[in-house]
Structure 1
Amino acid sequence: MSETTETGVLRTAVQVDGEKASYLTVEQDGPAVLLLHGTYWSRVWLPVLGRLAEAGLRPLAVDLPGLGRSEGELTLETATVPVLADWVARFVSELQISGPIAVAGHDIGGAVAQHLLVHDRLEVSRLALVNSVTYDSWPAPHVARFRGPGVDAGTTADDVLAARRQAVTAALAGAATERRIADYLDPWTASRVRRSWMAMAGAADSRYTLDLLPALQRSTTPKLLIWGEDDAFETVEYAERFASEIPHTTLLRIPDAGHIPTENAPSQIARALIDFFTA
Structure 2
Amino acid sequence: MLSNNPVRRDRIDVEGTMLSYLSAGTSSEIPLLLLHGTFWSRVWQPVLPALGEAARCIALDLPGFGGSGGELNVEQATVPALARTVLQAADALGLEKFDLAGHDIGGGIAQHIAATSGRVRRLVLMNSVMFDSWPVPAVERFRDPQVRAATTVEDMLDARTASTRGSVLRELRDEELADYLSPWRDPARVRSWTAMAAAAEPSYTQDLVPALQDLALPTRLVWGRDDDFQKISFAHRYVELIPGSDLVDVDGKHIPTEDSPHAVAAAIIEHLTR
Q: Are the counterparts in 1 of residues 5 and 25 from structure 2 also a CA contact under 8 Å? A: no
Alignment of 1:44 onto 2:40: no
Shift of 1:147: 2.3
Q: Which runs of 5 or more structure 1 residues have no equivalent in the other structure?
A: 1-5
Distance in 2 (CA, whole Å) between partners of 1:134 and 1:220 is 16
Q: Are the counterparts in 2 of residues 85 and 113 from structure 1 also a CA contact under 8 Å? A: yes
Change (3 A) 1:7 1:174: farther
Q: Are the counterparts in 2 of residues 36 and 113 from structure 1 also a CA contact under 8 Å? A: yes
**Equivalent in 107, 118, 121 of residue 104 of structure 2:** 107
The amino acid across from 1:276 in the alignment is H
Change (3 A) 1:198 1:264: same
Q: What's the CA shift string for 1:151-205, capped at 9, x where partnerless? A: 1232222111111110000012215232211110000001111110010011111
**Equivalent in 121, 137, 144 of residue 141 of structure 1:** 137
Shift of 1:53: 1.1
Residue of structure 2 in register with 1:197 after alignment: 193
**Equivalent in 66, 71, 81 of residue 73 of structure 1:** 71
Residue of structure 2 in register with 1:161 after alignment: 157
Distance in 2 (CA, whole Å) between partners of 1:216 and 1:274 is 22
Distance in 2 (CA, whole Å) between partners of 1:136 and 1:49 is 30
SS of residue paired to 2:63: coil
More moved, 84-93 vs 26-35: 26-35
Q: How does 1:210-229 map to 2 (within 5 A)?
A: 210-229=206-225
Residue of structure 2 in register with 1:208 after alignment: 204
Distance in 1 (CA, whole Å) between partners of 2:232 and 2:225 is 6
Distance in 1 (CA, whole Å) between partners of 2:151 and 2:186 is 15
The amino acid across from 2:51 in the alignment is L
Residue of structure 1 in register with 2:259 after alignment: 264
Distance in 1 (CA, whole Å) between partners of 2:265 and 2:188 is 32
Shift of 1:145: 2.5
Shift of 1:110: 0.2
Distance in 2 (CA, whole Å) between partners of 1:261 and 1:234 is 12
SS of residue paired to 2:75: coil
Distance in 1 (CA, whole Å) between partners of 2:63 and 2:151 is 22
Distance in 2 (CA, whole Å) between partners of 1:107 and 1:152 is 21
The amino acid across from 1:60 in the alignment is I
Distance in 2 (CA, whole Å) between partners of 1:153 and 1:196 is 12
Q: Which runs of 5 or more structure 2 residues have no equivalent in the other structure?
A: none
Shift of 1:52: 1.0
The amino acid across from 1:249 in the alignment is S
Distance in 1 (CA, whole Å) between partners of 2:33 and 2:18 is 17
Runs of 4+ in 1 over 3 A off after TM superposition: none
SS of residue paired to 1:145: helix
Distance in 2 (CA, whole Å) between partners of 1:93 and 1:198 is 27
Distance in 2 (CA, whole Å) between partners of 1:155 and 1:221 is 40
Provide the TM-score with structure 1 as the length reference.
Answer: 0.94
Residue of structure 2 in register with 1:87 after alignment: 85
Distance in 1 (CA, whole Å) between partners of 2:76 and 2:149 is 20
Residue of structure 2 in register with 1:3 after alignment: none
Q: How does 1:224-263 map to 2 (within 5 A)?
A: 224-255=220-251, 257-263=252-258
